[in-house]
Structure 1
Amino acid sequence: MTVSMFGFGRLSAELKVGIASGVVFFSILISRTLISERVNKNTRASLFRVQFLLLINSLLLLGSLYIWKRVVRRLCGARGAPSVPQRCWRLLVLLFLTLVHGSYLCMFFLVDTEPHWLSLQSFSCLGIYVILLFFLFVFGCLTRLRRLLSRSRGGEEDAVASGSGSHIVLAMILTAILAVYGLVNAAQPPRVIEVEIPVEKLPESLNGLRFVLLSDIHLGPTVGRSKLQRIVTMVNELNPDVVVIVGDLTDSQVTRLRIAAEPLGQMKAQLGSYFATGNHDYYTADVEGWFELLGSMGIQALHNSHAKVFRPEQPQDWICLAGIDDLEARMLRYPGHGMDVEKALSGCSAESPIILLAHQPHAAKQALQQRPDISLVLSGHTHAGQLFPLTILAFLMNPYFCGLYRVSEHTMVYVTPGTGHYGIPMRIASHSEITNIILKRA
């Protein structure tokens, strides 16, 4: 029995790819539900990577078909033999789309101490792809709307149709401008943002305590040792009391990034440095390896646990600094890991302020529903969208997007836009940040 008997062969290319994407997506959900924790985590990691690459590339293929039809067929025309410039244009677009589809392969196979040139090229093309796809879609919708409005005006519809090519050119020009801006913006050192946060029950001896907040460094295919060294140098210049890293430190295993991570050992904090996991740390399938490496550098991992932060001269005055595992640890069935707020806060005094490290804003919201006595939650994950138009999605999908939020009379949440960037070396409508938090008595 052939697929044509079901009519599958007559479906459009976009619909076929959409169906394939759906199949891959549901296979991910099923495998996450059925795979036992007893299965070797490296095997699970390999399965996740294969599924992830299939899903990403099937989704990218939908966008690639859309782009090809507009920037090649629409501009070059589909009839007759193409001219030499048209052939060159087609080859250029094909090379661009090939680099886009190879970007996530670089994440798994081209990770080293410093970013590989092919990784930087591929992920830059991916950023251009996202921006171009957005403008082509928006301008395409506007063109269709104009056609609908012009049907009652006779010949004007032809003029609208003929103007669609200019919209494609305009989309490419805007994309080029924004891409250059995004690349330059992401290449700049992180901004140091100082934020004063009032904390109830803060002892007088800890008034003015300085927390430096880092998150979403994403050490990996496009962030290497040199960028991390710059971040660590900037942190040390702030002379912090405490440094906290709220997840997504890395996108690969310790064996690949040990040398790249060495600057973390130079980080100086008078009262200690701490780390809580993010979703990408679990994607590496090497969380224990990273815990061990960070521990050797004097950075304590808060794995559903807490630490007492106090000045040596007054140990009776302390803050309960707690960290929870990322939300996705349980979904990934990572052995021995999963968000547990009560375990993390077990032993915290009701008389002392509680500061919680929770990578995702959704985790922050859930934690506050369980324990409204938490004074302050520090989160990341959103990147403040990192790249327009992804900013829109990030804003809509998270309960807290970026900046300081007062959740209740006694509780606040701060979401950092991140200290690095994920994959695409661009930032548009956002910036990298090192947050210098000063705690004040409420």
Structure 2
Amino acid sequence: MVIVLLVLTLLFALPWWTLFGSGAGWPFPVFLAGTVVFACWMATFPFLMAAGHGRHNDRAARIADSTLGAVWVLFTWSVIGGLVHLVLMGLGVGGADRARVVAVAVAAVVAVLLAWGNREAMRVPRIKRLDVQLPRLGAGLDGTRVVVLADTHYGPINRARWSARVAEEVNALEPDVVVHAGDIADGTPAQRRGQSAPLGTITSRLAKVYVTGNHEYFGEAQGWLDRMAELGWEPLHNRHVVVERGGDRLVLAGVDDVTAESSGLAGHSANLSGALEGADPDQPVLLVAHQPKYVPQAAAAGIDLQISGHTHGGQIWPFNFLVRIDQPVVHGLSRHGERTQLYTSRGTGFWGPPFRVFAPSEITLLTLRATPAAG
């Protein structure tokens, strides 16, 4: 609790100091009003978070999440503003108005970033296209179109219309395989039924597969597996399915999130050997695992391609640097070991704060390519 209070105080105190307390020389009524606003903002934030995410009050959650995103952006640019202030002071530039100019500049940048970041978070993601060469892929499966969704995070903001538009974008890509790499929602299937319903309209030629993310284990993981099955998806709960085209086969395997075992939910854990049980070891494997940090196990098992989400690409810069401490990759295609490749999606939606700053969302189209025959 002491650590939480210190972090909370720092997050709010530094922006207050930059905007009002650093010698900006505002008239006293402005200084007092700013101080009162920040004090009330900081005091109410923990209660809104508790009501929103502890008692599942969506209205409180919307306010608390927006506050968290806004104060993070304010804190980041207050740090940058403070460094600029020190540089200007060292150069002797700005004089008595220096602190006020920095305060106004920080406020303006933050306002623009929050408005733009909210638009980025709420829009239908752009399509990201990428060819992925899999040496073991048979010629019959060359050109297989895999569309990746991840981290839709249906939550306190009702995004049912957004969800329907995402489904339309996916169908327009005419996918062979559709993957949802987890963190489907914040809440129970009953709470987010309307937002998840458009997933049932998504079509594919060969398969639609889904694995749990860590957020499913904050609610009803088994309920989400059942809900996705109801919507016509294959829940890969430590299991696999095989798709075939042109006489060649591809194993689509999936594991529970790495947090599943610690959730205490019976029968849930990240079990790769169970997921691959009965699969032909000579066939290429596409593994869906929510977190990129599962890739060492995938590489050890000789998986051809792992698809993950979880990171959101950092979602709000510079949080991506903190994500990198916990995960081997923040976004994009990477290689691990001799055979295994990992694709990490920035995510289709957003978690919590309705902002994306320098971390755009995506619907990903991966086109699988076979290695051309020699000669």
CA distance in 1, matches of 2:118, 2:61: 14
Q: Structure 1, residues 21-56: CA drift from partner, whole Å, max 9, x if none?
A: 2xxxxxxxxxxxxxxxxxxxxxxxxxxxxxxxxx5x
Determine the structure 2 residue equivalent to 1:66.
14
Change over 3 Å in CA distance of 1:103–1:176 after alignment to 2 = farther
Question: For the structure 1 residues 388 and 223, does the alpha-carbon distance in structure 2 shift closer, same or farther, using more than 3 Å as the test?
Answer: farther
Q: 1:250, CA displacement in angstroms?
A: 1.0
Cα gap change, 1:70 to 1:201, in 2 (>3 Å): closer
2:238 to 284, 296, 304: 304
Opposite residue 126 of structure 1, the aligned amino acid is L
CA distance in 2, matches of 1:73, 1:358: 47
- Partners of 1:182 and 1:426 within 8 A in 2: yes
The answer to whether residue 305 in structure 2 is matched with residue 363 in structure 1 is: no
Question: How far apart, in 2, do the equivalents of 1:109 and 1:238 lie?
Answer: 39
Q: Which one-letter code corresponds to 1:280 in the other structure? A: H
Distance 1:171 1:366 in 2: 44
CA-CA distance at 1:160 after TM superposition: 7.1
Q: 2:139 aligns with which of 192, 204, 218?
A: 204
Determine which of 171, 182, 198 is the counterpart of 2:106.
Answer: 171
Matches within 5 A, 1:35-114: 55=4, 59-74=7-22, 83-94=28-39, 96-97=41-42, 100-101=45-46, 102-103=48-49, 105-109=51-55
Instruction: Tell me, in whole angstroms, the C-alpha distance in 2 between the residues paired with 1:59 and 1:225.
Output: 35
Partners in 2 of 1:99 and 1:188 — Cα distance? 29
In structure 2, what is the Cα distance between the partners aligned to 1:165 and 1:103?
A: 32
Q: Quote the Cα distance in structure 1 between the aligned partners of 2:182 and 2:13.
A: 35
Residue type at the aligned position of 2:353: I
Structure 1 Cα separation of the partners of residues 201 and 111 of structure 2: 39
Percentage identity across aligned positions? 29
Q: TM-score, normalised by structure 1?
A: 0.75
- Structure 1's unaligned 5+ residue stretches are 1-16, 22-54, 151-155
* Aligned partners of 1:128 and 1:176 also within 8 Å: no
Q: Does the 8 A contact of 1:302 with 1:322 survive in 2?
A: yes
Give the counterpart of 1:335 among 266, 290, 294: 266
Measure how far apart 1:90 and its partner are. Answer: 3.7
SS at match of 2:165: helix
Alignment of 1:289-328 (within 5 A): 289-311=223-245, 317-328=248-259
> Does 2:230 correspond to 1:288?
no
Q: Cα offset for 1:259?
A: 2.5
Distance in 2 separating the partners of 1:91 and 1:339: 48
Shift of 1:162: 6.9
User: Counterpart of 1:124?
Assistant: 66
Give the superposition deviation at 1:92.
Answer: 3.7
Query: Aligned letter for 1:294?
Result: M
Is the CA contact 2:18–2:81 (under 8 Å) kept in the aligned structure 1? no
Matched, 1:411 2:346: no
The aligned counterpart of 1:220 is 155
Number of aligned positions between the proteins? 370
1:98-127 deviation per Cα after TM superposition (whole angstroms, max 9, x unaligned): 665425642454566xxx5x6444433322
Deviates more, 1:324-333 or 1:98-107: 98-107
RMSD (Å), alpha carbons: 2.9
**TM-score normalised by length of structure 2:** 0.88
Query: Residue 167 of structure 1 aligns to a residue in which SS?
Result: helix
